[in-house]
Structure 1
Amino acid sequence: AGFLGAREARCLCELTGLDEGTLPPISACVQEGQAILVQAVKDPIGDKGARLSANVTIPGRLLVLVPNQSGVALSRRIEDEAERERLTALVEEMVERFNPMGVTGEPAGFIVRTAAIGATSEDIAADARQLAEEWRKVRETERKSNAPCVVFHDLDPVSKTLRDCVSAETARVLIDDADAFGEAQRYCRRAMPEMLDRVQLFNGPGDLFALYDVDGEIEAALEPRAELPSGGWITIETTEALTAIDVNSGRYTAATGLEETSVKINLEAVHEIVYQLRLRGTGGLIVIDFIHLNDPANIEKVLTALNEGFAKDRVPTQISGMSEFGLVEMTRKRVREPLDKLLTEPAYANGRPRRKTCATVANDLLRKIAREAQAAPGRPLLARASAEVVDWLERGNPYLVERLLRRVAAEVKIVGEPAFSRERIDVGVVQ
């Protein structure tokens, strides 16, 4: 189930003469029982179902195809005006020179992605042709199918990450799973051959997550408090209405006085706030309580740092000025469930507001088994966890254990312990 609002269904409306800013009633756009082509544009969040749109788009590496529309739009993150003009001219020339939609005659608009910076006309045309072929397949599947049905799947998670997050500035991409590495190589050969040598299979030594302290960063992101370099900290609390962030200086005091102390801590807080909000996937209304500043130049310095910090964020963000009380309001678009909702659930004991899900603990256990197997190659291992976590693994998701056993090439026995709490795990070598 999903929600289709009038704004996202307007392209289906048969009414004419409406102003651009006037939304038609939803009944003028769709009728009960009508089969229409829609796209999920936002995942379900909480009690809200997926948000749907009749304005379908097909994303590619360099371009996004917008069927049944015309014109060229560019990513707001392409800031160089000369490059914007060059890319606009390239795409417009391509559309004029040949119809990427082929014999269908359908109009097509394009959004130029940030990855297109520096791309040649051949690169642009190749991406457009591939997108047009994807759209042809969608139309063909739609014609042959009965609603409701799925007519288009986006890329697998590995390929989608490469498409959306990797740029020419990326030095390398490390993958510690052979199957995922194979998927990445296939995508690179097809869509981004220049990255083929930079996508590498990680074979150790050590564990990839441990090497870059990924587990530690995830654990820290589930806590409300994040430390700052000078001894201060920020506290992040999320409610249904908003996310509140409080900046604290701790015991740090700059030799030059209180104002300089406040500036230094606030600038450190800006860096950590940008990092934490992106890592945690926090969206919606956010209110930041900075340490009070008197000098307008210092206030501007903090606001500039905050805007620059979010400038490269792929998620749209709007930031207000600072109030006389040191409060900054900002909004960040909700595009997915936040990290804590993905990895934890409401707790019902021990006074804790949330606890890790069985899936989260099971993955913690599997990673710990992999680390222990690397540390003691060929030795048999005994892994223990709560009975409910082991049941989730062995009955509900046995393929995860099978894949792990193929990777570690070791004898592993996983035992459910009724006395273990949900989050307790233990892995050791069998003596």
Structure 2
Amino acid sequence: MKKMLINITKKSRSRIALIENQKLYNFDVEDVNHKRKKSSVYKGKIVHIVPSLEAVFVDYGTCKNGFLPFREISCEYFFNKNITKNRYNIKNVLKKGQECIVQVNKEERGNKCALLTTFISLAGSYIVLFPKNPGFLGISRKISGKYRNSIKKTLLLLKVPIEMGIIFRTASLGKSVEILQIDLMCQLQNWKKIKEAYQSNCSPCLIYQENNIIFRALRDYLYHDIQEVIVDDSKFLVCIYQYISLLGKSNFRDRIKLYTGTSSLFSYYQIESQINSIFQRNIILPSGGSITIDTLEALTAIDINSFRSNKGLDIEETALSTNLEAANEISRQLRLRDLGGLIVIDFIDMTAPLHKRLVINHFRKILKNDRARIQIGTISKFGLLEMSRQRLNSSMNKINRNFCSKCNRF
């Protein structure tokens, strides 16, 4: 049974845990004092044009200016509306001091500034609205070919403004036109508020704040497979009821329950130790093998060791069984830690090509449960697997934990 646990008893911090049969498979935490910038929308001002980078830097109201590539700038901001990006230099179509609506694609990390775009996207539970992409139609890559035609037929019944575009999320599959239209109307209303805020406020300023961690979880994860939503703050129940009604998910109301136990919610469900393991460098596998995870500036390195693994009749069988077991845990840790960017996995050496294919096929299969966009290569002759993963969240508590070599913990 899958459950969503919402812990908000600590007023300065909110935590969301998704569990299945008491095992944690997704976790997020948000500090009240750290407002999420990703997906938030700002009224910004161009402060520097850099032709050599084909980009501009935008002051959008934070300590560090954001980076806006030329390819992410809508033609509506060009002096001449008839020109195309392929024929003109950036300095000839934009000017310093020019105002624009920008959205944060990637939050700033370390020395890297935030990545911005003018092509706004507003996510609902089932549909993502693109107000500046006329006629654009996208369908989640996780929706297989046999269902894509039915999605396209549904599009014909939706009232989508011709100057806008949409993407159907995986959860839209099987939903009625009425539910999809409600979701679309919510995003159209958000876009109307953004335009009004842009007209009435001076730059730079925030004009649309992305939902907090609790509302994002209800929007992105509350579907038929979640049997219970358990929250430990009675004052927040009314807000949750109102929000799911706004999402068109009122049928989930009976699944939302208040936790009234004496121990903390996460302690009762015995997941605090699993959460603590997210910040540990080494993970011991049930067979006795281990995984070591090191996050560096350029990439994340994951090393697998057989250690005391007792599976398999010989060294080749032990390597195969340990790698398969490690693949399961790595896919879980990718979601829990929200590891993004380039990831290099050093599997235990296997000589048989069949065993390598078994591991890579198994890894691909279990990664399909991940919401993030993932690209995965093959195992090289050195036993290395390269992959990339989209970072979904940027919680301050996750990012700002550094590894301590003395205590061997984060």
Counterpart CA distance in 2 for 1:128 and 1:255 is 53
* Residue of 103, 117, 121 corresponding to 1:39: 103
The reply on whether 1:64 has 2:128 as its aligned counterpart is yes
**Structure 2 letter corresponding to 1:49:** C
CA displacement 1:66-111 (0-9 Å, x = unmatched): 11321311111222x232211221123323xxxx44xxxx611111
Using the TM superposition, give the Cα deviation of residue 254 of structure 1 relative to its aligned residue in structure 2, in angstroms: 3.9
**Structure 2 letter corresponding to 1:210:** S
- Name the structure 2 match of 1:322: 379
**Structure 1 letter corresponding to 2:138:** A
**Structure 2 letter corresponding to 1:127:** D
- Name the structure 1 match of 2:184: 128
Counterpart CA distance in 2 for 1:264 and 1:225 is 19
Contact 1:43–1:335, Cα closer than 8 Å, also in 2: no
Contact 1:243–1:286, Cα closer than 8 Å, also in 2: yes
Counterpart CA distance in 2 for 1:353 and 1:228 is 18
Larger Rg: 1
CA displacement 1:114-134 (0-9 Å, x = unmatched): 221111111122222222222
**Structure 2 letter corresponding to 1:78:** I
User: SS at 2:101's partner residue?
Assistant: coil
- Name the structure 2 match of 1:304: 361
**Residue 43 and residue 182 in structure 1: after superposition, are their counterparts in 2 closer, same or farther (change >3 A)?**
farther
**Residue 272 and residue 111 in structure 1: after superposition, are their counterparts in 2 closer, same or farther (change >3 A)?**
same
TM-score by length of 2: 0.77
* Residue of 168, 172, 175 corresponding to 1:116: 172
The reply on whether 1:3 has 2:67 as its aligned counterpart is yes
Contact 2:287–2:310, Cα closer than 8 Å, also in 1: no
**Structure 1 letter corresponding to 2:341:** G
**Structure 2 letter corresponding to 1:172:** E
Bigger drift between 159-168 and 267-276 goes to 159-168
User: SS at 2:100's partner residue?
Assistant: coil
User: SS at 1:151's partner residue?
Assistant: strand
Using the TM superposition, give the Cα deviation of residue 206 of structure 1 relative to its aligned residue in structure 2, in angstroms: 3.0
Contact 2:230–2:259, Cα closer than 8 Å, also in 1: yes
Higher relative contact order (CA 8 A, sep 6+): 2
Using the TM superposition, give the Cα deviation of residue 345 of structure 1 relative to its aligned residue in structure 2, in angstroms: 4.9
* Residue of 268, 292, 309 corresponding to 1:235: 292
**Residue 109 and residue 344 in structure 1: after superposition, are their counterparts in 2 closer, same or farther (change >3 A)?**
same
Q: How does 1:144-159 map to 2 (within 5 A)?
A: 144-159=200-215
* Residue of 317, 323, 342 corresponding to 1:260: 317
Q: How does 1:8-407 map to 2 (within 5 A)?
A: 8-11=72-75, 12-13=77-78, 14=80, 18=84, 22=86, 25-28=89-92, 30-68=94-132, 69-79=134-144, 81-95=145-159, 100-101=160-161, 107-191=163-247, 192-204=249-261, 206-254=263-311, 256-337=313-394, 341-342=398-399, 344-345=401-402, 351=406
Counterpart CA distance in 1 for 2:257 and 2:92 is 53
Counterpart CA distance in 2 for 1:115 and 1:28 is 43
Contact 2:73–2:117, Cα closer than 8 Å, also in 1: yes
Counterpart CA distance in 2 for 1:254 and 1:145 is 64
CA displacement 1:45-84 (0-9 Å, x = unmatched): 12222211100111112111111321311111222x2322
CA displacement 1:204-262 (0-9 Å, x = unmatched): 25321112333212221211101111111111112212211111112334453222111
Please identify which structure carries the higher helix content.
1
Counterpart CA distance in 2 for 1:176 and 1:339 is 22
- Name the structure 1 match of 2:12: none
**Structure 2 letter corresponding to 1:9:** I
CA displacement 1:395-420 (0-9 Å, x = unmatched): xxxxxxxxxxxxxxxxxxxxxxxxxx
Unaligned runs of 5+ in 2: 1-64
**Residue 17 and residue 325 in structure 1: after superposition, are their counterparts in 2 closer, same or farther (change >3 A)?**
same
- Name the structure 2 match of 1:383: none
Using the TM superposition, give the Cα deviation of residue 183 of structure 1 relative to its aligned residue in structure 2, in angstroms: 2.1
Q: Among all aligned residue pairs of Structure 1 and Structure 2, give the percentage whose two residues are the same amino acid.
A: 32
- The RMSD of aligned alpha carbons is 2.5
Contact 1:10–1:23, Cα closer than 8 Å, also in 2: no
**Residue 339 and residue 39 in structure 1: after superposition, are their counterparts in 2 closer, same or farther (change >3 A)?**
closer
**Residue 18 and residue 143 in structure 1: after superposition, are their counterparts in 2 closer, same or farther (change >3 A)?**
closer
Using the TM superposition, give the Cα deviation of residue 296 of structure 1 relative to its aligned residue in structure 2, in angstroms: 1.6
Contact 1:10–1:24, Cα closer than 8 Å, also in 2: no
Contact 2:103–2:119, Cα closer than 8 Å, also in 1: yes
Please identify which structure carries the higher strand content.
2
Contact 1:42–1:335, Cα closer than 8 Å, also in 2: no
**Structure 1 letter corresponding to 2:367:** F
Aligned residue-pair number: 342
Contact 2:280–2:409, Cα closer than 8 Å, also in 1: no
CA displacement 1:8-29 (0-9 Å, x = unmatched): 115444576758xx59644355
**Structure 2 letter corresponding to 1:310:** L
**Residue 74 and residue 28 in structure 1: after superposition, are their counterparts in 2 closer, same or farther (change >3 A)?**
farther
Unaligned runs of 5+ in 1: 356-431
User: SS at 2:73's partner residue?
Assistant: helix
Using the TM superposition, give the Cα deviation of residue 270 of structure 1 relative to its aligned residue in structure 2, in angstroms: 0.1
- Name the structure 2 match of 1:391: none
Counterpart CA distance in 2 for 1:23 and 1:117 is 41
